[in-house]
Amino acid sequence: MNLIAGILLLSSLTCADRSRIGQQSLAQDTSTVYQMKNASSGGTGKFYKGREIAQVMGAGGAGWLERNERQQEENTQLAISKLPLSPNSVVADIGAGTGYFTFQIARQIPDGKVLAVEVQDEFIGYLKNRGRELQINNVEVIKGTEKSANLPSNSVDLAIMIDVYHELLFPQEMLLSIKNALKPGGKLLMLEYRAEDPDIAIKKLHKMSVAQVDKEMQANGFRLLKKEDFLPIQHFLLFEKR
């Protein structure tokens, strides 16, 4: 399955998942932080800092996350090699999905731990089963909420969000939760498909520009430390809390 075919497949396979996830939250959200407008294709109709939040990818997209072509299309191994890790790092994979990054990172930090944070029960079950199959013991699966990663304060060296942030229904609340979980000097790494490149065959709402990401991060107390575009189709953006 190639990149374009995968995105089209997600659009058709996960409609039920996406319609189920977060609809109650959208209806109940009356905060002035967010604005509600008519939803565009693939969008929620909920806007933050001028950006429409994308619909959530449901567990029906597990095959897309684990596709054989992912390494070639995204160079995930290079991304992992560039993470600021030490052997005893505590890493929080926010929106871990199937654990594609979770379990690879866990092998890099034998004396550390990866906290795989997920909201969807289907993915939580997948993560637990996959950990047992791989016999990887330094991964802890944590059930988060739409507003919180449910992590202890000052417990995390590095939080990562891999093509996840654009789907967060409550980005301000989640960023506050992550900020509180980071240790002094802790970092937040985000990978997002590059909105600046129209040739990247990803739907519009599933791409983000550096300017938009930085605007939202600054508003929530993060400072951009590093911006890299060494990956084929994604920004590599490393932040620290101010």
- From first to last of its 242 residues, the chain has per-residue pLDDT tens of 554 444 434 444 444 444 444 444 444 454 689 999 999 999 999 999 999 999 998 778 888 899 999 999 999 999 999 999 999 999 999 999 999 999 999 999 999 999 999 999 999 999 999 999 999 999 999 999 999 999 999 999 999 999 999 999 999 999 999 999 999 999 999 999 999 999 999 999 999 999 999 999 999 999 999 999 999 999 999 999 98
Find all residues with CB under 8 Å of 202, minimum gap 6, and list them. Answer: 3, 7, 193, 233
Q: Rounded to whole angstroms, how far apart are CA atoms 71 and 173?
A: 32
Spatial contact of 48 and 80, defined as CB atoms under 8 Å apart: no
By DSSP bridging, strand 139-143 and strand 222-228 are: unpaired
Residue 31: predicted pLDDT: 62
Amino acid residing at 122: E
Among 83, 237, 77, CA closest to 164: 237
Phi, psi of 76 (to 5 degrees): -65, -35
HEC profile for the chain?
CCHHHHHHHHHHHCHHHHHHCCHHHHHHCCCCCCEECCCCCCEEEEEECCEEEECCCCHHHHHHHCCCCHHHHHCHHHHHHCCCCCCCCEEEEECCCCCHHHHHHHHHCCCCEEEEEECCHHHHHHHHHHHHHHCCCCEEEEECCCCCCCCCCCCEEEEEEECCHHHCCCHHHHHHHHHHHEEEEEEEEEEEEECCCCCCCCCHHHEECHHHHHHHHHCCCEEEEEEECCCCCEEEEEEEEC
Residue 30: predicted pLDDT: 44
What's the chain's Rg over C-alpha atoms?
Answer: 17
Give pLDDT tens digits for 91-125.
Answer: 999 999 999 999 999 999 999 999 999 999 999 99
Residue 15: predicted pLDDT: 40
CA dist 161 → 8, 32, 91, 110 (Å)? 22, 25, 11, 21
What does the mean pLDDT of the chain come to? 90
